[in-house]
Amino acid sequence: MSDTAIDTLRAGARFDVEALRAQFPILRREVHGKPLVYLDNAATSQTPQVVIDVFGDYYARLNANIHRGLHTLADEATAAFEATRARVKAFLNAEDARQVVFTRGTTEAINLVAQSFGRQHLGPGDEVLISMLEHHSNIVPWQLLALDLGFTLKVIPVDERGSLDMQAYQALLCERTKLVAVNHVSNALGTINPVKEMARLAHEQGAVILIDGAQAAPHQTIDVQDIDADFYAFSGHKVYGPTGVGVLYGKKALLDAMPPWQGGGEMIKTVSFEPSGTTFAETPHKFEAGTPAIAEVIALGRALAWVEEVGVDAIGEWESVLLDHATRAVSRIDGLKIIGTAPHKAGVLSFVVDGAHSQDIGLLIDQLGVAIRTGHHCAQPLLHHFGVEATCRASFAAYNTLEEVDVFVSALERVIGMVR
Ligand SMILES: *Cc1c(COP(=O)(O)O)cnc(C)c1O
């Protein structure tokens, strides 16, 4: 038996994927009369029954506004909401639960840093570094702010395999660099970036680093203290949780020194009609204006507990097995080119096929029950760099099987035969 086959067996023996699948009702549905093969996990992951149940339970038993009332429901809802903050603290290995700010998602977390920290610290002559691998949500907030504040936005290039050019990064870093904003794992290519090393280098220049962890949180243990991240963001709906909720982690001293972003209820200590007379709540509440997505936050806590029960590193290992299997199989397809072949990759397989439009492949393969992503994956500048407008992308999660990869590959071969 080959080494890979043995690895596959070992990982499979440790990982009971059929038992996991049974917890996801959506995986039992059909699409166009075929069993659903869901390989668009980098866009959103599916949700296990225990997380879905949180919603029914919350509205049936607990529904009340938090941090306000003194009645029982308000107390219980507040406790359940704050329990997620403690859960996120442990999930990220933060020092203190007060470093966890709830947002609508990664996008809002990045915008919060841009509008609060950015407006406080950035101006003409300053530089912000992002990378060519960034999602639009870690590009556009900085562009909007640069137009307003007059700082310069610079881009760390990637090599032909889709790894960040670390020499270029070091060359770009200088005393003008105030902030580095990079993703931990690229959603378009799957590249895992050396964020700990990047943080060390940024700090040597006195810059602050924000890490977009939307694609890392579902696949590997995150330790914000080990990375020495100043800010770290992720989204609930990519870690088996609900949409509408995400997290911004920040170093306590940074968050404490930052001004509020949005004003409203929940974020104040006292309010007077004298604008300078209004005072703000402590971190993290000063960044959480208005009634939050209470049920979603509680459900996120349940999703993270689920991920911990399964083991995030075991999930990551299983996804590597799926990725290896898929990479090997699609490499045999004539005219197929994989975009993004970095040595350290998460479970993302992006590719283009000679003589076949990605969109046609996506539409036709859906007819066979297979859900993949086609398009620019919110990373247009990156795809331009590789000379393509769009790719097909299959991305894996804990509940995907080797058989599903085989179904995907034979469906892909059929579809390519039809469009060529
Ligand atoms: C999905 C994603 C985002 C945006 O997340 P939202 O949940 O849409 O806010 C940002 N960065 C990366 C790397 C992503 O994959």
Mean pLDDT of 29-37: 97
Q: Would residue 378 show up in a list of annotated catalytic residues for this protein?
A: yes
User: Span 64-77, mean pLDDT?
Assistant: 92
* Same domain flag for 340 and 248: no
pLDDT tens per residue across span 193-244: 999 999 999 999 999 999 999 999 999 999 999 999 999 999 999 999 999 9
% of the chain surpassing 70 pLDDT: 97
The pTM of this model reads: 0.96
Q: Is the CB of 163 under 6 A from ligand 1?
A: no
Structural domain including 60 reads: 52-309
Is the same domain home to 114 and 34? no
Last residue within a domain, chosen from 264, 282, 309: 309
Ligand 1 proximity of 187 Cβ (cutoff 6 Å): yes
The span from the CA of 207 to the CA of 396, in Å, is 34
At residue 22, the 3 state secondary structure works out as coil
Same domain, 230 and 168: yes
Domain shared by 10 and 115, yes or no: no
Q: Considering its fold, how many domains does the chain have in total?
A: 2
- Per DSSP, 281 falls in state P
Name the residue of 41, 104, 107 whose CB sits within 8 Å of the most ligand 1 atoms, as the mutation to test its pocket.
107
Domain end, chosen from 288, 309, 330, is at: 309
The confidence score (pLDDT) of residue 197 equals 98
Burial of 32 (0-12, 13-18, 19+ CB in 10 A): exposed
Quick one: which atom of ligand 1 is closest to the CA of 246? 7
What is the mean predicted confidence (pLDDT) over 114-133?
98
Same domain, yes or no: 207 and 344: no
Beta strand 37-38 pairing with 370-371 = parallel
Give the angle subtended at the CA of 39 by the CAs of 54 and 41, to the nearest 5°.
45
CA-to-CA separations, 338 to 184, 190, 341, 347, in angstroms, rounded: 21, 11, 7, 13
User: Catalytic residue among 22, 378, 388, 402, which?
Assistant: 378
Judge if 108 and 178 occupy the same domain: yes
CB of residue 111 inside a 6 A radius of ligand 1: no
Shared-domain flag, residues 8 and 72: no
The pLDDT of residue 69: 77
Nearest CA residue ID for atom 14, ligand 1: 214
Examine the domain organization and report whether 39 and 58 are in the same domain.
no
On the question of pLDDT at 348 being above 80, the answer is yes
Indicate the helix (H) or strand (E) that contains 366: helix 358-367
Q: Are 39 and 396 in contact (CB under 8 A)?
A: yes
- Specify whether the CB–CB gap between 178 and 167 falls below 8 A: no
- The reported pLDDT for the residue numbered 15 is 87
Both 23 and 63 in a single domain? no
Final residue belonging to a domain, choices 309, 324, 358: 309
Cα–Cα dist 134/188, whole Å = 9
What local confidence, expressed as pLDDT, does residue 1 receive?
A: 45
64 and 181 assigned to the same domain: yes
Which CATH number do you get for residue 414?
3.90.1150.10
Q: What is the pLDDT of residues 304-343, one digit of tens each?
A: 999 999 999 999 999 999 999 999 999 999 999 999 999 9
Structure tokens at 418: 């039809």
Domain of residue 161, CATH code: 3.40.640.10
Q: Is 8 a residue whose pLDDT tops 60?
A: no
Give the C-alpha separation, 224 to 221, whole Å.
10
Look up residue 345 and give its two tokens.
């990759």
Which DSSP string corresponds to 56-95?
A: HHIIIII---TTT--SHHHHHHHHHHHHHHHHHHHHHT-S
Give yes or no: residues 265 and 391 share one domain: no
Given a cut of 60, whether residue 264 has pLDDT beyond it is yes
Are residue 32 and residue 135 in the same domain, yes or no?
A: no
Q: Kindly state the DSSP code that residue 101 receives in the 8-state scheme.
A: E
pLDDT band, very low/low/confident/very high, at 275 (cuts 50, 70, 90)? confident
Q: Find the mean pLDDT for residues 282-286.
A: 96
